[in-house]
Amino acid sequence: MKRRFYYWFLLLAVCLFVQCQQAPETKTAKYVFYFIGDGMGVNHVNGTEMFLAEQEGRIGVKPLNFTQFPVENLMTTYSRYNAITCSSAAGTAMACGEKTRNGILGMDSLHQEPLYSVAVKAKAAGRRVGIMTTVSIDHATPGAFYAHQPDREMYYEIATDMAKTGFDLYAGAGFLEPESTRQPGAPSIYDVLQDSGYVLLRHPQDLAGKSAGTDRVVWLQAEGEVPDALPYQIDRTGGSMTLAQMTANAIDFLGKDGKGFFLMAEGGKIDWAAHNNDAATVFQEVMDFSAAVQEAIDFYHQHPDETLIIVTADHETGGLSLGNGETEIHLKLLENQKASMEVMTAEVLKLRKEKGNRAPWADVQALLKKYMGFWDTVALTPEQEKELRAVYARTFDGSEVELEQSLYSANEPIIAKAVEILDDLAMVSWASGEHSASLVPVYVLGAGSEYFTGKLDNTDLPALISKAAGY
């Protein structure tokens, strides 16, 4: 009898020991935030943190909120046939989990079969879904979550795919092609969406104030604003939509019924500024992106066991390097830049119009002093001033100027040179004005974050999100 009792006691002790050694149960992510900083490489993030530290008068970093997440990783970004991806192929991989050819959106590399995104899985699982961006809603990254088109520049067709998903919220600047250029007589995208039950809102505050009683919303910036993108943070005035505002209102809208949600939010103009090789504007855009992530972090603190936040990028843009051969960098100088290249170009073009392409050097100097701090808070070397004067002499001779093209803007040569000089003084350099094959960062917080460790490729993220959220 004693021997039998001892046997059962030992068995019970072993069972209790094994149970205690088991890992705690992973919580299911009811609320998923998927933040994508377009073009945001490691140095775009690190440079922003170093810039913030220098503003406080010290060497080092002032951490952004998402770089303090417990899981930090790196991710490969190559596409099906190219070492360097485009945004549509990267977006497709990050949304659908399969690599495709550059230029294709939400389809296989032969553009024969549609690929369905993690957002579609979320919707099928009963979650509400929102897709948001600081650029146009028919752009590559947002489009990868809902569209299936063989060419990323088929903007009208991409936008019509929005209506087929049943997603609850789309938000962004507008549409690049609201009327079809390939199908004469086709309805406008606004009619297509309204006929599919979407309510169109056109003011920064409208989602909070006018979405009651409706389940499907397309939220755009005010009429009269350019449809391709929201203003850069560095140019922003009161009344403009912001990604942080969009995120806060989307949380309220998508979370109102308690079903859970999936929200993709893109900081699209990090990439645009990097294509311009404009470090000051890049760092401001990363900070603006971080402000949107903070809205998700605040929500996470209310629902820590049910919320998953992923912050990452689709690719790196520009080959940004922090340092150009010296042992010091001077990022604080970048705070002297008060506007993006777009805004400064517009000011120079206005000056040209007033002066007939023969503005005096003093007028150009005054503009560069106002927006760049040159000859005031930023000291130029004689060689740098000589470079500026050479561009001035070449482009203000009375003839029509040829603007310098980057992927998303056309810039005045004198402005492009001024930004190049300021970046050089700050010890920032660029490899190109295009994408690179660099690894990009991945930061994860919340339910299921433990799945995002180990070597990552962009195609891994949708499956890991689905695993964490139970889709």
Q: Is 26 marked as a binding-site residue?
A: no
Cα(277)–Cα(421) distance, integer angstroms: 11
Annotated active-site residue 340? The verdict is no
Q: Is 111 marked as a binding-site residue?
A: no
- Burial of 391 from C-beta contacts in 10 A (0-12 / 13-18 / 19+): middle
> Residue 235: CB partners within 8 Å, gap ≥ 6?
339, 340, 342, 343
DSSP helix/strand/coil, 377: coil
Q: Is 141 marked as a binding-site residue?
A: yes
8 A C-beta contact, residue 454 and residue 344: no
Q: What's the full length of the chain, in residues? A: 471
DSSP β-bridge partners for residue 429: 321
Measured from the Cβ of residue 185, the count of other Cβ atoms closer than 10 Å reads 5
User: Which residue among 87, 290, 340, 466 is the active-site one?
Assistant: 87
Cα(30)–Cα(465) distance, integer angstroms: 11
**Secondary structure percentages of the chain, helix, strand, coil, to 5:** 45, 15, 40
Helix ranges, 361-412 (H): 361-372, 382-395
Backbone angles phi, psi at 457, to 5 degrees: -120, 160
8 A C-beta contact, residue 364 and residue 390: no
> Residue 415: CB partners within 8 Å, gap ≥ 6?
341, 344, 345, 348
Looking at the chain, the number of H-run helices and the number of E-run strands are: 16, 16
Cα(52)–Cα(46) distance, integer angstroms: 10
Q: Is 435 marked as a binding-site residue?
A: yes
Q: Which two tokens stand for residue 71?
A: 């899981």
> Residue 224: CB partners within 8 Å, gap ≥ 6?
none
> Residue 185: CB partners within 8 Å, gap ≥ 6?
none
Side chain identity, residue 145:
F
Give the angle subtended at the CA of 443 by the CAs of 437 and 445, to the nearest 5°.
Answer: 160
Q: Is 314 marked as a binding-site residue?
A: yes
Q: Is 342 marked as a binding-site residue?
A: no
> Residue 426: CB partners within 8 Å, gap ≥ 6?
279, 329, 330, 331, 332, 333, 334
Side chain identity, residue 359:
A
DSSP β-bridge partners for residue 276: none
Q: Is 148 marked as a binding-site residue?
A: no
DSSP classification of residue 23: P
Q: Is 460 marked as a binding-site residue?
A: no
Cα(425)–Cα(279) distance, integer angstroms: 12
Binding residues for Zn(2+): 38, 271, 275, 314-315, 435
Pick out the residues of the known binding site for Mg(2+).
38, 139, 141, 266
Question: Which positions make up the binding site?
Answer: 38, 139, 141, 266, 271, 275, 314-315, 435
Residues with a known catalytic role: 87
